[in-house]
């Protein structure tokens, strides 16, 4: 057909295939380790063998197309392959592993998953970019999520829908849709729009602490998913077997230290290796270099609540470890990659309402109260009302529930067999667990019921963070990143307001450094940040 090409090709000596890394070589490895796989019959979902996979049933030589059940099934299946994207945390990767209790924390919580040193529990984690969509470069600057699930043997799944910073943007759930929308695409231009993001932030200064922390080296461009820490952010109520309760947060710290990427390396990798973090994690686990994290808690006793200089239930505020020490509970290791990405990662559905006896949501954290509804509701929309029947979401402890019917009921057992469908009943339906009931202790709240846009100190913790936890060199890099963000804002009013409301209150020398770098990058235009000409 192309004789000149065939002649040239005859003299080419192709190099033998060389495996570059486990992620890139998945298909060749599969083929090499599954000899004879091509001898299996190709079928449809009903098990009917396929007569062809390449040609449609038609009147020859040129048609028309006839009713071809093989083709119709292939097209119909293809049209339905995608489930709706997550609204946020769309891009993600995960892995499976094991958690081992290393410290006795029964004085703080009766949760049976943590009740014995040496106890092992299967875990699953999902790392994610918060605002990027499918195909986005993973090294692009983003907020990043880090969710953790314990498949407890006694009490169902325990989920922490965490992030990589110890604080959140907002403290009132009314703003949750807005804080996410402003980081999405402009509805007219379909482009990222810094005017939206910084307009919102300039009007809500409580976003400042998380914004600044995300500009630090380890958050701006982490070296790997394996070096990321995770934070539950929300405040829970932990109760021990004696009925004594404390407020608590849960955190997990990477035990492998990997240097963050430079800004230049992150930009370069965004173009050459958009799935950099996913490949790094997959290859590390595949090669036996299993990453590990220390998992623990911070506690706040009831008597300390009113002595603090900040509201500890405002998740835009940090529980600093010098005031709330990290108490180790155990370690988890990730040692298994997914067998199939869609089945085990894309269909994973985390829910902050998945808690076990001894860990309760009965706290004044109103963001947690909203998440208890929002997360499960979004999964019902995305995956269907019975998404917990999907294997990655299914608990390993026994399930005996009163919910019935709907999609994804795969067996009579999953639909309750002949059990009563109502409670209470006198026909031996599932009963209430006394252990869970005893630990379902009340929370405490008092005051008027009203809407209140709170005026609080949004800057003291950020100033202390910049002064005590960031080196001078890193502080300068962070100031330079703020300056670049300011340049990206096209609206002069938004730029001035963001600097005035969110950066200037951080005081000198940081705000002065921002002005300096802004002036350097704009040929001396730094004065316009203060509305001067």
- Binding annotation for heme: 375
Please report how the helices 510-521 and 472-488 are oriented relative to each other, as an axis angle in degrees rounded to 10.
50
- 192 forms bridges with which residues in the sheet? 185
Binding residues: 375
d(CA 523, CA 520): 5
Measured in degrees and rounded to the nearest 5, phi and psi for residue 155 equal -130, 25
From residue 484, alpha-carbon distances to 142, 200, 466, 489, 515 in Å are 15, 18, 19, 9, 11
From residue 123, alpha-carbon distances to 101, 148, 338 in Å are 13, 7, 13
- Burial code of 353-392, b = ≥16 C-beta within 10 A, e = fewer? ebbbbbbbbbbbbebbbebbebbbebbeebbeebbbbbeb
DSSP characters over 19-59: ---TTTTHHHHHHHHSTTGGGSPPB-TT-PBPS-SS---BS
d(CA 158, CA 360): 11
d(CA 48, CA 273): 41
The count of C-alpha atoms lying within 13 angstroms of the C-alpha of 46, restricted to the half-sphere facing its C-beta, is 6
Asked if 90 contacts 134 with a C-beta cutoff of 8 angstroms, the reply is yes
Q: Is 115 helix (H, G, I), strand (E, B) or coil?
A: coil
Picking from 198, 204, 184, the residue whose alpha carbon sits closest to that of residue 495 is 198
Write a three-state SS string for 320-385.
CCCCCCCEEEEEEEEEECCCCHHHHHHCCCCCCCCCCCCEECCCCCHHHHHHHHHHHHHHHHHHCC
Peptide bond connecting 479 to the previous residue in cis, omega within 30 degrees of 0:
no
């Amino acid at each position: 057909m192309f004789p000149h090409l065939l002649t040239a090709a005859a003299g080419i000596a192709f190099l033998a295939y060389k495996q570059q890394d486990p992620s890139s070589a998945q298909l060749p490895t599969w083929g090499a380790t599954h000899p004879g796989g091509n001898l299996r019959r190709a079928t449809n979902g009903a098990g009917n063998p396929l007569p062809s996979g390449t040609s449609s049933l038609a009147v020859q030589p040129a048609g028309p197309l006839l009713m071809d059940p093989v083709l119709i099934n292939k097209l119909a299946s293809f049209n339905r392959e995608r489930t709706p994207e997550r609204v946020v945390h769309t891009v993600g990767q995960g892995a499976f592993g094991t958690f081992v209790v290393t410290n006795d924390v029964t004085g703080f919580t009766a949760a049976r998953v943590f009740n014995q040193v040496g106890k092992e529990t299967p875990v699953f984690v999902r790392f994610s970019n918060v605002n990027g969509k499918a195909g986005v470069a993973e090294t692009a600057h983003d907020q990043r999520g880090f969710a953790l699930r314990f498949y407890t043997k006694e009490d169902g799944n325990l989920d922490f829908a965490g992030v990589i910073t110890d604080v959140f943007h907002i403290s009132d759930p009314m703003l949750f849709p807005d804080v996410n929308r402003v980081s999405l695409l402009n509805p007219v231009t379909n482009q990222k729009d810094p005017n939206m993001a910084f307009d919102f932030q300039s009007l809500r200064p409580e976003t400042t602490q998380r914004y600044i922390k995300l500009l630090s080296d380890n958050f701006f461009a982490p070296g790997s998913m394996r070096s990321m820490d995770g934070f539950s952010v929300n405040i829970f109520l932990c109760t021990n077997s004696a009925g004594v309760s404390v407020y608590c947060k849960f955190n997990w710290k990477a035990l492998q230290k990997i240097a963050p990427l430079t800004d230049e390396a992150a930009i370069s990798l965004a173009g050459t290796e958009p799935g950099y973090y996913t490949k790094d994690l997959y290859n590390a686990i595949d090669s036996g270099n299993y990453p590990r994290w220390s998992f623990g808690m911070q506690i706040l006793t009831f008597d300390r609540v009113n002595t603090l200089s900040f509201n500890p239930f405002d998740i835009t505020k940090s529980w600093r470890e010098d005031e709330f020490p990290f108490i180790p509970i155990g370690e988890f290791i990730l040692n298994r990659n997914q067998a199939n990405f869609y089945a085990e990662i894309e269909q994973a559905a985390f829910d902050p309402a998945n808690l076990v006896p001894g860990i309760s949501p009965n706290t004044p954290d109103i963001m947690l109260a909203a998440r208890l509804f929002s997360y499960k509701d979004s999964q019902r929309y995305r995956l269907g009302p019975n998404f917990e029947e999907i294997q990655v979401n299914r608990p390993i402890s026994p399930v005996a529930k009163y919910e019935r019917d709907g999609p994804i009921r795969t067996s009579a057992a999953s639909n309750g067999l002949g059990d009563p469908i109502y409670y209470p009943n006198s026909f031996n339906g599932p009963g209430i667990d006394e252990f869970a009931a005893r630990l379902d202790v009340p929370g405490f709240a008092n005051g008027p019921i009203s809407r209140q846009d709170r005026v609080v100190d949004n800057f003291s913790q950020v100033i202390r963070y910049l002064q005590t936890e960031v080196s001078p060199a890193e502080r300068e890099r962070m100031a330079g990143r703020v300056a670049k963000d300011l340049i990206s804002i096209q609206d002069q009013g938004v730029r001035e307001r963001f600097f005035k409301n969110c950066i200037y209150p951080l005081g000198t020398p940081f705000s002065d450094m921002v002005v300096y770098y802004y002036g350097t990058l704009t040929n001396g235009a730094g004065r316009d940040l203060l509305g001067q000409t």
